[in-house]
């Protein structure tokens, strides 16, 4: 079967140094991620800051030099694609539309750039496709002549979406696309993304720290912790029956607008994860409320239970894949 995105044991290590004489630290941002995403699906990736979700996104977009492992986009290895081919297959929408749009270019030129960069699309056709795509995302033709600074945050994110879609890619990587927006605008953008996926048969990789947003838009959810997917399941199963203690803690911390419920005790303690210092055994054990002795030494990598990836030694009848 051909998948829209297939990732096999992807790893990315950054070397950092706090000062000239300081010891070099190895940051394992992505530490063995594998998944296969069928076309037309939405994989939501959730996790806290520093868990490696944005690094993974940039690897899949080809924005970082290849690390270890293999990434296939639309069935073809990412390293064999040149920039133009890649751009026709996969496109990004980033978090902050204030910094991802060139402040000196007009909206129409920003959206035309991916077409122009292809090098073989006539100008008249470029203009038509730009205006068509802008109309599709709800940007009027008067706004096409404005600069990004003359638009609101929501309008800017619409422009960023138009730019991502103007080449008709198969896959869109959305990295926190609504985090910088107000709730009333966030809902508009989420509705637009859902509508575009339906109409244009897109596949999304949707990265967010907001679980409520992911629950709303994703079909499949992966929970990332210190560089690995510690749990992955279809969205209903994950939210109805979370198996990993970290997933349970994340779900417990979602503050829904229900005034009779208080602030939950997520029971995670005060140790914070550090990707430069990944604990031995289960990487979650220092924060885990149910850890036992063997969690300190035995790594639960690639464990599945009942056909679902759950990297926890204690999750039901665990078996290795």
Partner 1 sequence: MTPVLEVSNLRVTFGTNIAAVRGVSLTVNRGETHCLVGESGCGKSVTALAIMGLLSRTARHSADIMRFHDHDLTRLSERGMARLRGDRMAMIFQEPMTSLNPAYTIGSQMAEVFERHRRVSRASALDRAAELLQRVGITAPGMRLKQYPHQLSGGLRQRVMISMALMCEPELLIADEPTTALDVTVQAQILRLLQNLQQELGLSLLLITHDLGIVARMADRVSVMYAGDIVESASANALFTAPTHPYTRGLLRCIPVPGLLRRDAPLGSIPGVVPRIASDFIGCAFRDRCTHAMPECARDVSRQRVAADHDYLCRLSPDWTRAEAA
Say if CB 169 and CB 196 are below 8 A apart. no
Concatenating the DSSP letter of every residue in 199-219 gives HHT-EEEEEES-HHHHHHH-S
**Contact status: 215 vs partner 1 (CB under 8 A):** yes
- The single residue among 113, 121, 187, 299 that binds partner 1, judged by CB under 8 A, is 187
Q: What is the smallest separation between the CB atom of 247 and partner 1, expressed in angstroms? A: 11
**Contact status: 255 vs partner 1 (CB under 8 A):** yes
Say if CB 49 and CB 26 are below 8 A apart. no
Residues 76 and 89: their CA atoms lie apart, in Å, by 10
- The single residue among 39, 121, 147, 190 that binds partner 1, judged by CB under 8 A, is 190
Phi, then psi, of 260 in degrees rounded to 5: -85, -5
Rg of the chain, C-alpha, whole Å = 21
Report the residue number, 66 or 194, with the smaller CB distance to partner 1: 194
Given phi > 0 = left and psi -120 to 50 = alpha, else beta, which region is 26?
Answer: beta
Report the residue number, 127 or 209, with the smaller CB distance to partner 1: 209
- The single residue among 81, 216, 281, 301 that binds partner 1, judged by CB under 8 A, is 216
CA 72 to chain centre: 16
Binding mask 164-183 for partner 1 (x = CB under 8 A): ------------------xx
- The single residue among 39, 266, 278, 299 that binds partner 1, judged by CB under 8 A, is 266
Q: Which stretch binds partner 1 (CB under 8 A): 5-13, 28-36, 53-61, 184-192?
A: 184-192
Under DSSP, is residue 104 helix (H, G, I), strand (E, B) or coil? Answer: coil
Instruction: Tokens 């309008």: give the residue.
Output: 155
Q: Give the single-character DSSP code of 48.
A: -
Q: In the window 125-154, what residues touch partner 1 (CB under 8 A)?
A: 152, 154
Contact footprint for partner 1 (CB under 8 A): 48-49, 152, 154-155, 182-188, 190-191, 194-195, 209, 211-213, 215-216, 235, 239, 249-266, 268, 270, 272
């Amino acid at each position: 079967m051909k998948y829209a995105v297939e990732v096999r044991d992807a790893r990315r290590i950054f070397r950092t140094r706090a000062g000239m004489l300081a010891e070099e630290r190895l940051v394992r941002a992505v530490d063995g991620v594998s998944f296969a995403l069928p076309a037309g699906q939405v994989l939501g990736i959730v996790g806290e800051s520093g868990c490696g979700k944005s690094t993974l996104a940039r690897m899949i977009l080809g924005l970082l030099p290849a690390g270890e492992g293999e990434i296939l986009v639309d069935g073809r290895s990412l390293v064999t694609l040149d920039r133009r081919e890649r751009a026709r297959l996969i496109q990004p929408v980033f978090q902050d539309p204030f910094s991802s749009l060139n402040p000196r270019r007009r909206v129409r030129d920003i959206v035309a750039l991916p077409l122009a960069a292809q090098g073989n699309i006539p100008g008249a056709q470029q203009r038509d496709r730009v205006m068509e795509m802008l109309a599709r995302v709800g940007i009027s033709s008067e706004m096409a002549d404005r600069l990004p600074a003359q638009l609101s945050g929501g309008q800017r994110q619409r422009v960023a979406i138009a730019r991502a879609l103007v080449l008709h890619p198969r896959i869109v990587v959305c990295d926190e696309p609504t985090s910088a927006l107000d709730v009333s605008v966030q809902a508009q953008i989420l509705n637009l993304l859902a509508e575009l996926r339906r109409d244009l048969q897109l596949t999304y990789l949707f990265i967010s720290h907001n679980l409520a947003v992911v629950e709303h838009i994703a079909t499949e959810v992966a929970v990332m912790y210190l560089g690995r997917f510690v749990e992955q399941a279809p969205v209903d199963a994950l939210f109805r029956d979370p198996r990993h203690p970290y997933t349970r803690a994340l779900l417990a911390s979602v503050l829904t607008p229900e005034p009779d419920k208080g602030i939950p005790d997520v029971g995670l303690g005060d140790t914070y994860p550090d990707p430069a210092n990944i604990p031995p055994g289960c990487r979650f054990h220092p924060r885990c409320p149910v850890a036992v002795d063997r969690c300190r030494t035995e790594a639960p990598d690639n464990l599945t239970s009942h056909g679902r990836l759950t990297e926890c030694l204690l999750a039901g009848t665990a078996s290795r894949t």
